[in-house]
């Protein structure tokens, strides 16, 4: 009887919204840590651009790929504002970043990337399973600093603004040629087919696993509501 109770408890734990694989929990925690660093830094992503963004993609610890000159490889998470962009941040989607011959302008073999999706079509690209930056969607190195007034033209024309962080310093970085894709295996480990990627990106009020809740709470604290264009 005792053994049966233990088995039943294990099954319930694994099927609950708070359960996820160890790698996925670590990944979501690393994404949250990058956002915490962003919030505490004096020179980083301009807050007015963050407030205008529709989705935020965080790829922590991107490293040089084993194959290909200049290629990079990393896994992260994306979260979008729900209810047509006017609601709270939705549940995180697990994503991957691959390819591209971009360099780390601020040095280092490993960097964290943060991408701001500024255009509503960016959500459709994100949910299309895979898209290439610079080909399927326009991307530009984002401006840094608390005030982005000088970067108005960039923010108006680029669908995605991209940043890198290395050694605690944020800087704009070009990611043209890199591809972003949904991480189907990672999403399954976190959600187990309970919801679709579009549900996660657009609907509020869904069950968020504990590991993902900390990430969305960090975003909600940074930018509680979207500013008008």
Are residues 79 and 93 in contact, defined by beta-carbon separation less than 8 angstroms? yes
Confidence of residue 191 (pLDDT cuts 50, 70, 90): confident
| Euclidean distance between CA atoms 191 and 77, whole angstroms | 13
What b/e readout covers 47-68, taking b as 16+ CB neighbours within 10 angstroms? bbbbebbbbbbbbbebeeeeee
Asked whether the predicted pLDDT for residue 1 surpasses 60, the reply is no
Closest of 179, 178, 139 to residue 161, by C-alpha: 139
Question: For the chain, what are the domain ranges?
Answer: 21-222
Q: What is the pLDDT of residues 127-144, one digit of tens each?
A: 888 899 988 999 988 887
Strands 179-182 and 130-132 turn out to be antiparallel
| C-beta of residue 116 within 8 angstroms of C-beta of residue 45 | yes
Per-residue confidence (pLDDT) for residue 4, from 0 to 100:
42
Confidence of residue 42 (pLDDT cuts 50, 70, 90): low
Identify the burial level of 218 via C-beta atoms within 10 angstroms of its C-beta, where 0-12 means exposed, 13-18 middle and 19 or more buried: buried
Which pLDDT does position 81 carry in this prediction?
94
Instruction: Give 111's strand partners.
Output: 62
CB–CB of 202/80 below 8 Å?
yes
> Residues with Cβ < 8 Å from 64, sequence gap 6 or more?
70, 71, 72, 73, 109
pLDDT of residue 101: 52
pLDDT at 2 over 50: no
CA dist., res. 223 & res. 229, Å (int): 15
Ranking 125-139, 162-176, 188-202 by mean pLDDT, the lowest is 162-176
pLDDT of res. 100: 63
């Amino acid at each position: 009887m005792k053994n049966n109770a233990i088995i039943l408890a294990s099954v319930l734990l694994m099927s609950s919204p708070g359960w996820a694989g160890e790698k996925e929990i670590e990944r979501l925690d690393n994404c949250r840590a990058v956002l915490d660093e962003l919030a505490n830094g004096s020179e980083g992503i301009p807050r007015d651009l963050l407030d205008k963004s529709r989705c935020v993609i965080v790829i922590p610890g991107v490293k040089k790929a084993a194959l290909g000159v200049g290629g990079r490889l990393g896994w992260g998470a994306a979260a979008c504002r729900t209810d047509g962009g006017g609601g709270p941040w939705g549940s995180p989607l697990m994503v991957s970043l691959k390819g591209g011959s971009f360099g780390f302008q601020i040095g280092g073999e490993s960097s964290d990337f943060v991408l701001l999706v500024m255009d509503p079509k960016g959500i459709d690209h994100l949910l299309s399973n895979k898209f290439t930056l610079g080909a399927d969607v326009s991307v530009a190195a984002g401006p840094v600093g608390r005030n982005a007034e000088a970067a108005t033209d960039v923010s108006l024309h680029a669908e995605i603004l991209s940043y890198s962080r290395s050694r605690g310093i944020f800087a704009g970085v070009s990611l043209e040629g890199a591809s972003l894709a949904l991480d189907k295996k990672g999403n399954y480990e976190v959600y187990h087919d309970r919801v679709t990627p579009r549900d996660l990106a657009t609907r509020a009020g869904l069950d968020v696993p504990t590991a993902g809740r900390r990430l969305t709470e960090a975003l909600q604290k940074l930018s509680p509501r979207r500013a008008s264009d």
